[in-house]
Amino acid sequence: MQTKASKTKKGADGTATTPEKCHDPLKTSLPLSKNSVTVLARRYLQKDEQGRVIERPEDMFKRVAAAIAGAEALHDEKADIEALTETFYELMTSLRFMPNSPTLMNAGRELGQLSACFVLPVEDSIESIFETVKHTAMIHKSGGGTGFSFSRIRPEGDRVKSTHGVASGPISFMTIFDVATETIKQGGTRRGANMGILRVDHPDIEKFITAKTKTDRLNNFNISVALTERFMEAVEQGEEYGLINPKTKQETGRVSAPMIFDKIVEAAWASGEPGIIFLDRINQKNPTPQLGEIESTNPCGEQPLLPYESCNLGSINLGLAVKDGSIDYPGLKDTVWKAVHFLDNVIDVNKFPLDEIRKATLNTRKIGLGVMGFADMLIKLNVPYNSSRAVLIAEEIMAFIDKESKAASVELAKKRGNFPAYKGSVYEKTAPYMRNATTTTIAPTGTISIIADTSSGIEPIFAVSYIRKVLDGTELIEAHPLFIKAMKERGLYTEDLINRIAKAGSIQGFDEVPEDLRHIFVTSMDISPEDHIAIQAAFQRNTDNAVSKTINFPNSAIKEDIKKAYSLAWHQGLKGITIYRYGSRPVQVLNLKKEEAKTPALQTAPQPAKNGKIEPRPRPARTIGVTERVRTGCGNLYVTVNRDEKDICEVFAQMGKAGGCAACQMEAESRLISLALRSGIRVESIIKQMIGIRCPSPSWQDGEQILSCPDAMARVMRGVAQIETDGAVKEKALAAGSTCPECGGALEPEGGCLLCRSCGFSKCD
């Protein structure tokens, strides 16, 4: 494999590119799906100053492989860098392993920041808080996500001696972090994600629990309550527990543990947040207790970290670990060892955004090897996801990965030395060698699972067949390739069946699908919360860090169901849990199901003129409508939608302070939309053309991103018409809680994050 070019030119970031990289990036010899290549071109491949892709997928993997293999020279001056580059290249291009997104994006490029997750300390002083805000901005700019514990900040109303005033409390400071995150777009490709954590014994815990019920703030945060063992015991025993002022360490009062627990349950039932983490359990497994207690995790909750630590993640594709109907353990061992080698090298070549992060990360050298494609593996093994056999496989395979990752880390330590904080760690008495303080983490795989064309993380498949919106707005119906294969082998495949399944997502209830396939191809909403938790617990039992997974509930679930799940998660040994009740997010008010629509859109006939051309129906003297204010990046936009006796007949938009060209353009848009409506054009078609149009200044309102003024007008029309403009895509968006802000596709809940499998957008990855 050639890793050097005879002639080079510079890309936008100053890195060398070859002339062949200006060729069509969608043409590749690698075993990548069209969707994978499209996502790579949009988010990962290098671009020039004009935004044109100048790197093929092959070039990206060569760039990453060469950069990571280059670390070998630090440990062995005689190392065969070229051979190791080839090894890492094959590891990734075979789709057996993928590192986290920042490594794919930045390895071998000027930025060089390769870590996905960080935790920063937040102390109880203005100086410390704003220093952390600055550090957060630097991390987000480099492509990472951040986690914080706000538990050290004194409660709202507490006396501040230095100013003789009163403290504003942790939630107010969280808002500052949220606004800073909204302002910074990470490295031109990703927007930052945050985790905000508060201990359950903090005096402001009730305010924290309900902090995200108001959807106009904290939209760049996942929030979780840190539950202690004492609290959970008090819940089960119906007792009170003490609230502790973090500044004075004094008890400020006592409250009912069951009452607080019920408030957490109610908020999660309503919106999916807050999540919960079991803080004492996390610290029981802290590999370096001599360095201090763990207070927070990364944004999706799977990576507990000490202050200033970062972690480098990667995932093995279990969908490719099946050979001749059984698990290929020799092949899996080879992948694990190479992946641990890869991730340890990442630490050495990483360009850390802060010196404190470099020191803390090198001190423990934590890596997090996880998995993706678990659902695909089960399908290939003909094992239902919601079965006791699946739980046994989950526990067995993660035990194998954890054991082999430790063995690989030991061998690296023999050559390179133990991690510096080894003395005093849990390994000091059990293992004479260990290169990495942790080796395993189950993270949400987000876009890397799209690149690998496999199921996400340890989640079940989201849908057997679905509508995928490609980047030009075209809709394509796709189905799981293993389902297509199985149906074709039995002579039962028809496009009509696939189209009908796409409207439901699940195949349960389709009698033309054989019963055994209905058992195997189960989706996230076909599986009970208890079965979801059983799989998560099986993986957690053999994972150093934590396990990211979404526990799905039907819309009909009651609060008692959530409470039982939380209790079960504690008893099953989980370190945290994220639940999602179908259709519970407030933004879904506009995504009504067809049977719930009160005023369906009518398809009115156009008025033929004498010359045979379409003539718009006349506007009546009186119309009835609504005016809605939408906050856009340009200011408040006032959108009026009016109806006549047949249907929506006109739309007008006016900017609060707009004038000149902006006002003219909005008037022109309004007139053309109104003309189209009165000419019989379906409102769905108009909305499809306008929704998703982006301008340079998007904004947020009610938890929904407003991409532009035309996008705002389309969203208001959609709400007034009470329709689904994207069919089954909107059904899945209802389950996920929102539509993709970039392509309008469905956002799937995945491990505390939201992922669009159409274009690769992810809140966290």
| Distance in angstroms (rounded) separating the CA atoms of residues 646 and 652 | 18
Tell me the three-class secondary structure of 65-103, residue by residue: HHHHHHHHHHCCCCCCHHHHHHHHHHHHHCCCEEECHHH
| Distance in angstroms (rounded) separating the CA atoms of residues 281 and 296 | 13
Strand (E) positions, 203-317? 221-227, 240-244, 251-256, 275-278, 296-297, 304-305, 310-317
| Distance in angstroms (rounded) separating the CA atoms of residues 648 and 667 | 18
| Distance in angstroms (rounded) separating the CA atoms of residues 460 and 384 | 10
What is the CA angle 285-135-213, rounded to 5? 70
| Distance in angstroms (rounded) separating the CA atoms of residues 553 and 580 | 6
3-state class (DSSP) for residue 666 = helix
- Which phi-psi region, left, alpha or beta, contains residue 751 (left: φ > 0; alpha: ψ -120 to 50)? left
| Distance in angstroms (rounded) separating the CA atoms of residues 708 and 653 | 13
Do residues 467 and 557 lie in contact, with contact meaning Cβ atoms separated by under 8 Å?
no
Q: CA torsion sign, 374 to 375 to 381 to 386?
A: positive
Q: Which amino acid is at 144?
A: G
Specify whether 298 is catalytic. Answer: yes
Structure tokens at 565: 């799940």
| Distance in angstroms (rounded) separating the CA atoms of residues 378 and 460 | 9
| Distance in angstroms (rounded) separating the CA atoms of residues 683 and 680 | 9
Specify whether 759 is catalytic. Answer: no
| Distance in angstroms (rounded) separating the CA atoms of residues 114 and 310 | 10
Q: Are strands 322-323 and 310-317 parallel, antiparallel or unpaired?
A: unpaired
Q: How far is the first Cα of the chain from the last one, in angstroms, to the nearest whole number?
A: 30
| Distance in angstroms (rounded) separating the CA atoms of residues 369 and 400 | 12
Specify whether 756 is catalytic. Answer: no
Which of the following is catalytic: 100, 106, 222, 298?
A: 298
- Which phi-psi region, left, alpha or beta, contains residue 410 (left: φ > 0; alpha: ψ -120 to 50)? alpha
Q: CA torsion sign, 338 to 341 to 347 to 351?
A: negative
Do residues 747 and 736 lie in contact, with contact meaning Cβ atoms separated by under 8 Å?
yes
Which of the following is catalytic: 117, 300, 311, 743?
A: 300
Structure tokens at 253: 């009062």
| Distance in angstroms (rounded) separating the CA atoms of residues 570 and 378 | 26
| Distance in angstroms (rounded) separating the CA atoms of residues 43 and 529 | 34
| Distance in angstroms (rounded) separating the CA atoms of residues 481 and 497 | 14
Structure tokens at 177: 């972090």
- Pick the closest to residue 306 from 340, 283, 274 (CA basis): 283
- Rounded-to-10 torsion of CA 614, 618, 623, 627: 50
Instruction: Provide the CA 489 distance to its chain's centre, in angstroms.
Output: 35
Tell me which residues are annotated as active site: 298, 300, 302
